[in-house]
Chains A and B, each alone.
Chain A
Amino acid sequence: MRNSKTYIFFAAALAMIIPVPGRTVFAVYLLVLFNILIVLTTLLNSGIKKLGLEKHDRIFFALEIISVTILYKQIMTLICPVVSLTLSFAIYLPAVSSVLAVYFLSEKGNGIKEDLCEKLKSSGKISLFVFCIFLVRDIIGFGTLTLPGWKKIITLHILPSVSEKLSLGVFFATIPGCLVLIAVILFCSQIFASGKKIEKTAEPDSTEENK
């Protein structure tokens, strides 16, 4: 069960990472939408229960996700048109990740506050992971840190200008490089998880010996 949750976590993160260029500015826009969808879906779920409309909840969820995403795309076009042009259809992917996060990764809480806290915990973990991947790709791959600005992308050159002609690290800016990075992280997380499992199974044996 724990293993399947790890893979669902990575699937939810990969849906936002792979089709998007590895610049931090795109991560900011995607993750804001992702968290808005989580909050609104949780609030809508609570509203549906109060109104007693559980029979038609899937229709409402689908309408809510689609309308919020389209509204967000228009707001994004207003704030920064070049980001809207670049993301294009990739803006619909946080919706997929939010469904995975809400239905498969988070626990249900009693009452709206607890439910919201549980959902935001799992969305927070995914958001932190995704943001770190984009940050690493932006700094090591492009040598920059990109931030959202009004009608533009603010680009800060992090690495010295000498590195501009060096292609070292540009591999991680590419999609195959990103997949390699994610595979290494998944491999390390599995080793860490199996190491913890061995420790846990060894503990009852050591307590029995002490007795």
Chain B
Amino acid sequence: MLDKENKEILIKTGIIAGAVIVILTLLILMTFLARKSWERGLSDEVMTTLEQYSPGIYKDATFIELESNLASSAAVYALERKTSANSTGEYAVIVRVPGIAGPMPAVFIHSKNSKITEFAGYAVDNYKGKFVLSGEKSFGSLSYWQSKIERILEKAGV
């Protein structure tokens, strides 16, 4: 049988180990649950932004895995048009872009055929700030990220 001191040490170690196991289990469980929410939630935001940019053009956005350090700040989607059954080589990238008002989720569309990248808008409603923030198109962080979209798509295997 254990003496009193060893019993106390065992109880303390058991409590700490139990707490670590519970926290790790919760973290792993939440990571798996949050993954689907990330893909679907951002897809909805991309479609909402594209509907304001080009109404009635796009039907669906399919998530593409991005194996890069940017995976926590960006997401890539393959776009389907309403008029076409197959993929038209158009992709949307939603990326966290730092700007003068802080970081904003910006949506860009890239066409593989024409190799043109366009800024479709922010995934948040900026209301009064829209005109000031969209002025960053011609300079600043938006133009930098616009030039990086092709590189991001290459990392996504597109």
Contacts and interface: CB of A to CB of B under 8 A. Distances in A.
Given A74-B31, A142-B126, A143-B127, A175 B102 contact: yes
A181 interface: no
A180 B102 CA distance: 15
A91 B45 CA distance: 21
A74 B105 contact: no
A147 interface: no
B17 interface: no
Contact of A174 (B101, B125, B131): B101
Nearest to A141: B129
A53 B94 contact: no
A32 interface: no
B72 A88 contact: yes
Contact of A78 (B34, B127, B131): B34
Given A78-B30, A144-B127, A173 B101 contact: yes
Interface residues of B, number: 37
Nearest to B48: A152
B99 to A, nearest CB: 9
Most buried by B among A67, A80, A90: A67
A202 interface: no
Interface stretch (B35-43, B109-117, B147-155): B35-43
Contact of A22 (B15, B37, B94, B102): B102
Contacts of A164: 127-128, 130
B102 A167 contact: no
A86 B33 contact: no
Interface residues of A, number: 46
Say whether chain A's binding surface is mostly helix, strand, loop, or mixed.
helix
Contacts of B132: 167, 170, 173-174
Contact of B103 (A88, A141, A152): A88
A67 B27 contact: yes
Interface in B68-83: 72-73, 75
Interface of B: 12, 15, 23, 26-27, 30-31, 33-34, 37-38, 40-42, 44-45, 72-73, 75, 94, 96, 100-105, 123-132
28 contacts: A19-B103, A21-B102, A21-B104, A23-B124, A53-B12, A67-B23, A70-B27, A71-B30, A81-B38, A81-B45, A82-B41, A82-B42, A82-B45, A84-B38, A85-B94, A85-B96, A88-B73, A88-B96, A90-B103, A141-B101, A142-B129, A144-B127, A146-B124, A151-B41, A155-B124, A157-B127, A174-B101, A175-B100
Given A78-B30, A144-B127, A173-B128, 6 more contacts: A20-B103, A21-B102, A52-B12, A81-B37, A141-B129, A166-B128
